[in-house]
A and B are shown apart, each in its own frame.
Chain A
Amino acid sequence: MRVNFTVNGREQRADDVWEGESLLYVLRERLGLPGSKNACEQGECGSCTVRLDGVPVCSCLVAAGQVEGREVLTVEGLAEYAGNRAAGGGASVPGAATGEAGAGAARPGTAPHPGGSGELSPVQQAFIDAGAVQCGFCTPGLLVAADELLERVPSPSDADIREALSGNLCRCTGYEKILDAVRLAAARQEETV
């Protein structure tokens, strides 16, 4: 079957999709967006976390046919998305915002591929600065989940952070540096407001 949906602000079409296929498989294998990672395939690890119409979900548990006509944000579009949000633009329409850039905002706007520009979102930068990335496999899912938390709760408590990331497993860091990174991103976000 054919599936039409929006990925990181751009219309996409996937053809010859098997009916039992997951959104994760479509993203990785058909659209060339391997940022969302494939690990457990049962919703346990969170490494495939994307936003579906704004809501964080495990893309391995969304059937491809269920995303017809809907909007998906993957880690590849995170920088642009966060940049638009910081600029006060419609956060759900990456690439649509114009005008002055907010601090750390990436604004490729013209990137032809939904794979993003190479610039980093504030959460991504904070993960690097705090040393929250080791092997990196869990990182994309954590970034999407953490960014959504900071959008929803600008000054999260530690309990908020732990809960928001409770569906994302990391086997390297012991989580402390990941928590540090989210706190850092929140603090930087407050400074720029």
Chain B
Amino acid sequence: MDFLRPATWEEALAAKAEHPTAVPIAGGTDVMVEINFDHRRPEYLLDLNRIGELSAWTVGEETVELGASVPYTRIMEHLRAELPGLAIASHTVASPQIRNRGGVGGNLGTASPAGDAHPALLAAGAEVEAESVRGSRRIPIDAFYTGVKRNALAADELIRSVHIKKADGPQQFSKVGTRNAMVIAVCAFGLALHPATRTVRTGIGSAAPTPVRARVAEEFLNAALEEGGFWESGRIITPSIAREFATLAAGACNPIDDVRGTARYRRHAVAVMARRQLGWTWEQYRGTGRAMEGAA
């Protein structure tokens, strides 16, 4: 094994081009587990800790450019207003020690269906900035996850940052597990209301081979909110609409039975989380985000 320690991003890209099998390591919270347990013996480890810009973020007009190695702790502390869904999700990651090291770049690189950041990224809307010596490109988050622990990165590419849409409305995230800390999600759900475009977006974790959006549920809810004039009136969402949204969200799952839970339980739990989060976010929208006052 060789340990590559590029001091700059350009050196890192050159190293990855020269050694496409090199495994990038930043927080180490996935990679080191595999090495400690002898599940993986990479020929090269590519340490990204010395590259300062990967731990920085920029809040722009419409998006936050989040460096690949920004630790979850920083996201929780500094980006709660701009990225509420991701901030909530970040707080559910493992433990303080892990949140001090791990970041979204690693979550994307590993591309586990159980990664906590994915539902929030899918719901908010995001693009992954991948770069190689050949150039830079932005991969829409919806096209990023290609299979179980597979993503759209080419062998010579590294994740530099994620461009995440700033929240224009309430966002939520929740996950099911046996306790609060150190939980790999049995399943997870994220919901973002986008009042600016009068749309909703969702993200489901740990209930399909990849993180997925519940597109049919989104389309149903978009239409129902539009037809009922809910965005203008801010009325309480009719229970039958919430129920149908939840059922369709469960329908977007393609789960398996495993040690953490059964497929049937996962579908059920995703439906429950979808219905609850719709309630939470809509209450928040009615309370703060609505232009018209006085209704309901």
Residue among A20, A41, A55, A163 with max Cβ neighbours from chain B (10 Å): A20
Is A11 an interface residue when CB atoms closer than 8 A count as contact? no
| Cα distance A164–B49 in the bound complex, in angstroms | 24
Interchain CB contact under 8 A, A166 and B95: yes
| Cα distance A68–B45 in the bound complex, in angstroms | 15
Q: A18-B1, A19-B45, A66-B25 are in contact. Are A61 and B96 (CB under 8 A)?
A: no
Identity of the chain A residue whose Cβ is nearest the Cβ of B95 in the assembled complex: A167
How far does the Cβ of B281 sit from chain A's closest Cβ, in whole Å?
24
Interchain CB contact under 8 A, A167 and B37: no
Is B47 an interface residue when CB atoms closer than 8 A count as contact? yes
- CB-defined interface of A59-79 with B at 8 Å, one 1/0 digit per residue? 011110110100000000000
- CB-defined interface of B162-184 with A at 8 Å, one 1/0 digit per residue? 00000000000000000011100
Is B136 an interface residue when CB atoms closer than 8 A count as contact? no
- Residues of A contacting B36 in the complex (Cβ-Cβ under 8 angstroms): 22, 41-42, 60
Is B290 an interface residue when CB atoms closer than 8 A count as contact? no
B47 contacts which of A22, A44, A65, A164 (Cβ < 8 Å)? Answer: A65
Q: Which A residues, 151 to 168, have Cβ-Cβ distances below 8 Å to chain B?
A: 163-164, 166-168
How far does the Cβ of A190 sit from chain B's closest Cβ, in whole Å?
23
Is B33 an interface residue when CB atoms closer than 8 A count as contact? yes
Interchain CB contact under 8 A, B98 and A58: yes
- CB-defined interface of B1-20 with A at 8 Å, one 1/0 digit per residue? 11101000000000000000
B5 contacts which of A20, A58, A65 (Cβ < 8 Å)? Answer: A65
Is A104 an interface residue when CB atoms closer than 8 A count as contact? no
- CB-defined interface of A28-46 with B at 8 Å, one 1/0 digit per residue? 0000000000000111101
- Residues of B contacting A133 in the complex (Cβ-Cβ under 8 angstroms): none
Residue among A44, A58, A60 with max Cβ neighbours from chain B (10 Å): A58
- Residues of A contacting B216 in the complex (Cβ-Cβ under 8 angstroms): none
Interchain CB contact under 8 A, A43 and B5: no
Interchain CB contact under 8 A, B98 and A43: yes
How far does the Cβ of B103 sit from chain A's closest Cβ, in whole Å?
13
Interchain CB contact under 8 A, B97 and A63: no
- Residues of B contacting A56 in the complex (Cβ-Cβ under 8 angstroms): 96-97, 100
Residue among B1, B28, B37, B95 with max Cβ neighbours from chain A (10 Å): B95
How far does the Cβ of B21 sit from chain A's closest Cβ, in whole Å?
14
B101 contacts which of A1, A20, A46, A61 (Cβ < 8 Å)? Answer: A61
- CB-defined interface of A165-184 with B at 8 Å, one 1/0 digit per residue? 01110000000000000000
- CB-defined interface of B192-214 with A at 8 Å, one 1/0 digit per residue? 00000000000000000000000
Is A57 an interface residue when CB atoms closer than 8 A count as contact? yes
Interchain CB contact under 8 A, B5 and A167: no
- Residues of A contacting B98 in the complex (Cβ-Cβ under 8 angstroms): 43, 58, 61, 167
| Cα distance A22–B34 in the bound complex, in angstroms | 12
Interchain CB contact under 8 A, A66 and B28: yes
Interchain CB contact under 8 A, A166 and B5: no
Interchain CB contact under 8 A, B45 and A63: yes
Interchain CB contact under 8 A, A166 and B96: yes
Identity of the chain A residue whose Cβ is nearest the Cβ of B30 in the assembled complex: A61
Is B94 an interface residue when CB atoms closer than 8 A count as contact? yes
Is A145 an interface residue when CB atoms closer than 8 A count as contact? yes
Is B35 an interface residue when CB atoms closer than 8 A count as contact? yes
- Residues of B contacting A66 in the complex (Cβ-Cβ under 8 angstroms): 25, 28, 47, 49
Interchain CB contact under 8 A, B1 and A19: yes
- Residues of A contacting B28 in the complex (Cβ-Cβ under 8 angstroms): 61-63, 66
Interchain CB contact under 8 A, A62 and B181: no
Binding site for B on A (CB under 8 A): 1, 18-20, 22, 41-44, 46, 49, 55-58, 60-63, 65-66, 68, 145, 163-164, 166-168
17 A-B pairs (CB sep. < 8 Å): A1-B3, A22-B36, A43-B94, A43-B97, A43-B98, A46-B95, A56-B100, A62-B32, A62-B101, A63-B45, A65-B3, A65-B45, A66-B25, A66-B28, A166-B95, A167-B96, A168-B95
Supplied contacts A43-B97, A55-B100, 18 more A-B pairs, CB within 8 Å:
A18-B1, A19-B2, A19-B45, A20-B35, A22-B32, A41-B36, A43-B29, A43-B94, A58-B98, A58-B101, A60-B32, A61-B28, A61-B98, A63-B32, A145-B96, A166-B95, A166-B182, A167-B181
Binding site for A on B (CB under 8 A): 1-3, 5, 25, 27-29, 31-33, 35-37, 41-42, 45, 47, 49, 94-98, 100-101, 180-182
